[in-house]
Amino acid sequence: MFEVAELGHTVEKSVYKEKSAQLRTELLTIQHRLKSCPFPVIVIISGVDGGGKGEVINRLNEWLDPHYMRTIALSEPTDEERERPKFWRYWRTLPAKGTIGVYVGSWYSDPIAQRVYQKIDDIALQTELNQINQLEELLADDNTLIIKCWLHLKKDMQVKRLKQLAKNPATNWRVTDKDRQHLGLYDDFIGVAEKVLSETSKAYAPWLIVEGSDNRYSGLTVGQHVLERIRQHIQLYENDLAASAQQEEPPKSQVEQYNLLDALDLSLKLDKADYRKQLEKHQGKLNELSRHALAANRSSILVFEGWDAAGKGGAIRRLTESMDARHYQVIPIAAPTDEERAHHYLWRFWRHIPRAGQVTIYDRSWYGRVLVERVEGMAKTSQWQRAYSEIVNFEEALLAHGIVIMKFWLHIDRDEQLARFKRREEISYKQFKITEEDYRNREKWDDYQKAVNEMIARTSTSKSPWLLVEANDKYYARIKVIKAYCECLEKMLDESNK
């Protein structure tokens, strides 16, 4: 795989000077065009030790306008990062639309190092690579341009290079014990790298292998590659823009009408006395269980979706009443801020992933993508259809980190909703909770119902199922929610005590 990068490419100083001046002009020009494009660029610089990653990064920094590019250099995770799913640190640093993020120490570093040092086996490595592919595919689907460069060195060159670095007092600090250790593992490293590169070279995110023995050569090659990829991507985007102006959306697929919601028995109810008794009992239990979960450093993510006026707020309040306000956050999802809009739609949910032991309650969530955004036409068909698997993958990443996920759909029927709207209009402090939009949404009940049915069918997994809550009676709904969360915590704690 690496033969092409063992040919001894070099670039003369005078040639370099001329070419780099020209390249810089072109990069600045393309960056200026990129600014107004609705996609970000990710550049990953990876490769063997001594392959000149630092030099390449420095050159990119020289050539590119720092207003619209950022270097993201990740080494050891901080404690805030360690307490969250492993991709959280990458999500928090993703470049915004119109800008370039250059990653050194990307999501590839850890899996490679761990496999070389035999801390994980081939199967575990494959799992990691699948997750990386999922992430890159998800970003590419959102039009992110992903440029991946691998700096290679022949074995004897690596030895030579590290010796040079070590000899020069200006660079010897860069040769760490870890590097020297790597050196002894050159062949293992190359074997793992081959596997990683071939598994993760995709049409939307191919690897460029670059010979790293001459800094001028590798700098120019990477710079030229970045330029060309960005240029192509802008071209593609502009063509798409022109094409989509004429082209219609594909006809909506005729998904069959699932009837999960219709099957619910909305007459289920609890009388007030019974409710009171059960509420007290389960709140006491939740209080205890949530303290155990905190002590065990196990976080929870609770998702509330449901019709307008289905009682999400009330159900959430009954949960939080029995929890310590220092350990949970309720995140109401409204219109995104402009920083949020400049990122992938999942970015704003990643922001609020809880630290170890904490609880995040999302009042509406990423499911908006396949509900309101679908019904109101804010997402294209291809976008919301793709979102089902994106969401399942997202939740799997949370589950893999040991986070407890519960998803509640609070269900009421149309008549009950209308009655509640009317009641809200009568209660002074609830008047502001009801707007014309609520009535407009009501008119699209059937479209929403279809979207909800499909959402549940496609995103209810065995590890992260939807709990459908019959909510025509608030008392019944609240108890069902709190009881379900208690049972879930109990099960989790039982399992971790085994």
- Euclidean distance between CA atoms 84 and 340, whole angstroms: 20
- Of 2, 71, 109, 237, which one interacts with a copy of itself (CB under 8 A)? 71
Among 229-237, 242-250, 252-260, 317-325, the segment contacting a copy of itself (CB under 8 A): 317-325
- Tell me the C-alpha distance between 490 and 344, whole Å: 35
Nearer of residues 3 and 79 to a copy of itself, judged by Cβ: 79
Q: For a copy of itself, which residue of 10, 78, 198, 259 counts as binding (CB under 8 A)?
A: 78
Burial class (CB in 10 A: 0-12, 13-18, 19+), 215: middle
Q: Which stretch binds a copy of itself (CB under 8 A): 220-228, 270-278, 310-318, 374-382?
A: 310-318
Out of 18, 280, 339, 425, which residue is the one contacting a copy of itself (CB under 8 A)?
Answer: 339
Is 67 among the residues that bind a copy of itself (CB under 8 A)? yes
Should residue 308 be labelled a site residue for a copy of itself when binding is judged by CB under 8 A?
Answer: no
Among 261, 330, 399, 418, binds a copy of itself (CB under 8 A): 330
What residues contact residue 454 under an 8 Å CB cut-off, 6+ apart? 255, 258, 370
Q: Among 64-72, 249-257, 379-387, 476-484, which window interacts with a copy of itself (CB under 8 A)?
A: 64-72
Stretch that binds a copy of itself, among 125-133, 146-154, 336-344, 410-418 (CB under 8 A): 336-344
Cβ–Cβ < 8 Å for 372, 444:
no
The binder of a copy of itself chosen from 1, 9, 19, 58 (CB under 8 A): 58
To the nearest 10°, the Cα dihedral for 421, 425, 428, 434?
60
Burial (CB < 10 A; 0-12, 13-18, 19+), residue 244, is exposed
By CB under 8 A, the residues from 82 to 101 that bind a copy of itself are none
357 is an interface residue for a copy of itself by CB under 8 A: no
Q: Using CA atoms, how far apart are residues 331 and 361, in angstroms rounded to an integer?
A: 6
Touching a copy of itself, residues 432-461 (CB under 8 A): 432
258-277 positions binding a copy of itself, by CB under 8 A: none
Distance CA 373, CA 401 (A): 29
- Min separation Cβ 269 and a copy of itself, Å: 23
Q: Give the nearest distance from C-beta 26 to a copy of itself in angstroms.
A: 8
Who's near 332: CB < 8 A, 6+ residues apart? 363, 364
**Widest pairwise Cα distance in the chain:** 88
297 close to 356: Cβ distance less than 8 angstroms: yes
First to last CA, the chain: 47
Q: What angle do CA 53, 58, 59 make, to 5 degrees?
A: 100
In the bound state with a copy of itself, the residue whose beta carbon lies nearer, of 124 and 295, is: 295
Which segment (66-74, 136-144, 219-227, 437-445) binds a copy of itself by CB under 8 A?
66-74
Q: Pick between residue 30 and residue 190 the one whose CB is nearest to a copy of itself.
A: 30
Are 476 and 470 within 8 A, CB to CB?
A: yes
Extended beta strands in 157-201, E state: none
Distance from C-alpha of 340 to C-alpha of 100, rounded to nearest angstrom: 17
Could you say which of 15, 242, 255, 295 contacts a copy of itself (CB under 8 A)? 295
Q: How far is the CB of 65 from a copy of itself (least distance, A)?
A: 8
Q: Does 320 bind a copy of itself (CB under 8 A)?
A: yes
Cβ contact 118:86 at 8 Å? no
- CB closer to a copy of itself, 61 vs 127: 61
Contacting residues toward a copy of itself, per CB under 8 A? 24-26, 28-29, 32, 54, 57-58, 60-62, 65-67, 70-71, 73, 78-80, 102, 104-105, 170, 173, 284, 287-288, 291, 295, 313, 316-317, 320-321, 324-327, 329-330, 332, 334, 337-339, 363, 428-429, 432
